[in-house]
Structure 1
Amino acid sequence: MPSELKKVIDVASCREYDMVTGARGEKSFQVVNRKLGKRLIKYFVNKISKIDVPDFNSGLRVFKREVIKKYLHLMPDGFSFSTTSTVTFLKLQYNVKYVPIFVKERDGRKSNVKIKDGFKTLMLILNLSVLFAPLTFFIPISIFFIASSFIYFILYSIIERIHITSSMTLLFITGIIIFFMGIICEQVSAVRRELNN
């Protein structure tokens, strides 16, 4: 609706914020079969950005041109541009403003986003996690493998005898390798984020 667009433009025109986004409220129209997927993405977006994001994929947004140009190399070509730009601006601590808006059901052409895009959504979550919070992604997996090796050792020692098997060693080494992969990924992602700065 033009009135909702004007709300966003009015706030953006003051040039106080680096990005102004229209945040759809609970009364706004939502496609029912996408609610579960959106909740999943919202959980990860909140976890990565460490704030409660009102609307992570609203297309009604205004950027400062000089800021968004720095990070176009991070942006995907598909529908996830809105989510990626949200996480980018929040994670890099730019000044973001959310303006409450109301959205009705789409008239005319239906949305291009289909249920089959669920795999793309999972890949988006993975990419955002690795790009902006690699240690948050890798460390829990590392801890899982290392803890599994110790639990396996304890149970084996109680049931059989005190002995380190090849499976225990493999679990432990896998955990260590994943940990160091996270360290390397943290450095690479930092360089990639600042590539055009």
Structure 2
Amino acid sequence: MRDSLSIIIPAKNEQSSLPGVLDGIFSCCTPLEVIVVDDGSTDGTASAASREGVKVIRHPYSKGNGAAIKAGARAAKGKTLLFMDADGQHDPRDIPRLLEKLYEGYDLVVGARAKGSQASIGRGVANKVYNWLATYMTGHKVEDLTSGFRVARAKKFREFLSLLPNGFSYPTTSTMAFFRAGYSVTYEKIHASRREGKSHISPLKDGLRFLLIIFKIGTLYSPLKLFFPLSVLPLLLGLGYYAFTYMTVGRFTNMSALLFTTAILIFLMGLVSEQITQLMYKEVGSEDDGRDSGKGTESLK
């Protein structure tokens, strides 16, 4: 495993917690490399990461958690990529269990947070909604859509780098992309500890952003499965209103026509989005084939 495993840790102002995370990693396994991506920290995060066996990539300003993940994935040399947080929530002692699961034949293994691991009740409820919707969209049981503790095969993970956002929703995007591509995804139960220091997630700003994840789940996997149920609502309302007006005034009204038109437009939007999604994944696959046939994956200098 030491010849193939790269551990990638995005970090922003994690000077106090990062040393303990690194100590835990080196005490439980000997990876090929550990990469800490300092995402524009204003404290001593880079200094805390500077030790033997650790490669530090520094961003001149904060680009986002997803951007740090992408920078680490591009620079990694291992055939297996493991991602974990620098805030102490993820226990390095769980790494061997995630790797063992991966080598059973899976392409992506996600550390699914056990009950009581959520940082707040609100975030726990939101994650349940995300998991339920993702399960509906994919037809597979999704235990934890947003967990950042995960291990994947490097070649397959890099196929979707262009799809990953620079913000906090990279776990959602990568999970749905693996499902969409037909790769094998599974979950391994973990307990996430309460983070050290202050969270970088703003309840108001990122709360609104996380709401968009609901729609992003649909557009990443199968938009029609999201838009079709939405089109049924105005269709049923239109039928109900038409039945009411036909029995009371004996005619078809403009409101019924508007509801029927709305239903058709929503359905057509889903149909067009479905075709765009298929083209998007086709283009991503073509780009990856081109890289593999050439000089290989580009690395950061």
Alignment partner, residue 123 of structure 1 = 212
Answer whether contact 1:18 1:64 (CA < 8 A) is retained: yes
Partners of 1:76 and 1:112 in 2: CA distance: 17
Matches within 5 A, 1:125-144: 125-144=214-233
Letter in 2 for 1:77: N
Distance 1:175 1:11, change over 3 A: closer
1:55 correspondence with 2:156? no
Matched, 1:176 2:264: yes
Say which of 183, 191, 194 aligns to 2:279: 191
| Aligned equivalent of 1:163 | 251
| Counterpart residue type for residue 122 of structure 1 | L
Is 2:132–2:142's contact at 8 Å kept on the other side of the alignment?
A: no
**Aligned AA for 2:237?**
S
Q: Deviations over 1:137-172 (max 9, x none)?
A: 211222222222221111012122x21222222221
2:132 aligned with 1:21, yes or no? no
Contact 1:37-1:118 at 8 Å conserved across structures: no
Q: What CA distance in whole angstroms lies between the structure 1 residues aligned with 2:216 and 2:187?
A: 24
Q: How many residues align?
A: 194
Answer yes or no: is the 8 Å Cα contact 2:172–2:217 preserved in 1.
no
- Aligned counterparts of 2:116 and 2:254: Cα–Cα separation in 1: 57
**TM-score under structure 1 normalisation?**
0.88
Distance in 2 (alpha carbons) for counterparts of 1:147 and 1:73 = 39
Distance 2:187 2:261 in 1: 45
Closer, same or farther in 2 for the Cα pair 1:52/1:167, shift >3 Å?
same
CA distance in 2, matches of 1:90, 1:193: 12
- Identical columns (%): 29
Q: Deviations over 1:15-40 (max 9, x none)?
A: 72211222222253543331222222
Structure with more of its chain in strand, by fraction: 2
- Residues 1:35 and 1:29: Cα distance change in structure 2 (over 3 Å): closer
Q: Deviations over 1:73-128 (max 9, x none)?
A: 22111111011111221233211232222222222x23212321221111111122
Q: Give the CA RMSD over aligned residues.
A: 1.9
Listed as ranges, the gaps of 5+ residues in structure 1 are none
Answer 1 or 2: higher relative contact order, Cα 8 Å, separation at least 6: 1
Structure 2 gaps, min length 5: 1-90, 286-301
